[in-house]
């Protein structure tokens, strides 16, 4: 009814730090990471195959969590290496619980991508990241990604896209309510994501609906 998120009221934690509440215990963090992994085991391949990503061999999965999307990526593109960039405690759990040391194509980088530097790569994947944040934070992050990106490289946004008139899909509208309740972010249309990418400097922007829960938007440098 208030049209603003209720995180502080529910958890006593600032809504500007949603993961402070989401990761408030090891049990909660593990549950969240396992949930995200199950999503990518169902529809990870669809978003990664929406565009031909084979030209990109050096990939960073920003906020890659438990690594299921990274695993789908190296399976689909065997010449690629994927670095999961996430908070130190998330990386620790991913190494212990989800990603085997034998998976040599997957490596880890500990950090907070808003505060710390982002290393150079050919492709950056932001899966269900931008919908957590308002436009200003999204622009700030995408500008850092653009600066780090190799010329000719790109960024792949994986999000649930609203229709341009925001009339649906109903699943995405439900996600939008969830974002309103829990985060500073929102679900967006393909045009809205394109504007954010353009503001950061990316061009040749294409969006593809997969017919599943999540869609793909690719921007090039």
Residue positions counted in the chain: 221
Residue 95 CB neighbour total at 10 angstroms = 15
Q: Which of 109, 131, 163, 214 does the annotation list as catalytic?
A: 131
Inter-residue long-range contacts of 48-55, CB under 8 Å, 24+ positions, other chains counted: 48/72, 48/73, 48/76, 48/77, 48/216, 49/76, 50/208, 50/210, 50/215, 50/216, 50/218, 51/156, 51/206, 51/208, 51/216, 51/218, 53/77, 53/80, 53/123, 53/156, 54/79, 54/80, 55/122
Q: Quick check: is 131 catalytic?
A: yes
Token duo for residue 31: 């549950």
Spatial separation of the C-alpha atoms in residues 137 and 161, rounded to whole Å = 19
Dihedral pair phi/psi, residue 79, rounded to 5° = -90, 0
Is residue 106 within 8 Å of residue 74, measured between CB atoms? yes
* Pairing label, strands 215-220, 149-159: antiparallel
Active-site positions read 131
């Amino acid at each position: 009814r208030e049209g603003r998120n209720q995180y502080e009221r529910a958890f006593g934690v600032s809504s500007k730090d949603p993961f402070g509440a989401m990761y408030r215990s090891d049990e909660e963090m593990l549950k969240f990471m396992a949930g995200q992994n199950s999503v990518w085991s169902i529809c990870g391949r669809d978003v990664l195959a929406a565009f031909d990503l084979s030209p990109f061999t050096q990939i960073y999965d920003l906020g890659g969590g438990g690594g299921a999307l990274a695993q789908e990526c190296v399976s689909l593109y065997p010449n690629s290496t994927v670095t999961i960039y996430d908070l130190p405690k998330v990386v620790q759990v991913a190494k212990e619980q989800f990603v085997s040391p034998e998976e040599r194509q997957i490596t880890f980088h500990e950090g907070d991508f808003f505060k710390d530097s982002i290393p150079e790569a050919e492709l950056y994947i932001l899966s269900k990241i931008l919908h957590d944040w308002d436009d200003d934070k999204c622009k700030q992050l995408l500008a850092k990604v653009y600066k780090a990106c190799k010329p000719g490289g790109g960024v792949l946004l994986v999000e649930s896209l609203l229709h341009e008139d925001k009339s649906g899909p109903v699943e995405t509208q439900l996600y939008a309510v969830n974002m309103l309740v829990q985060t500073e972010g929102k679900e967006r249309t393909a045009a809205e994501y394109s504007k954010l990418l353009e503001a950061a400097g990316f061009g040749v922007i294409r969006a593809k609906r997969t017919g599943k829960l999540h869609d793909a938007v690719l921007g090039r440098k």
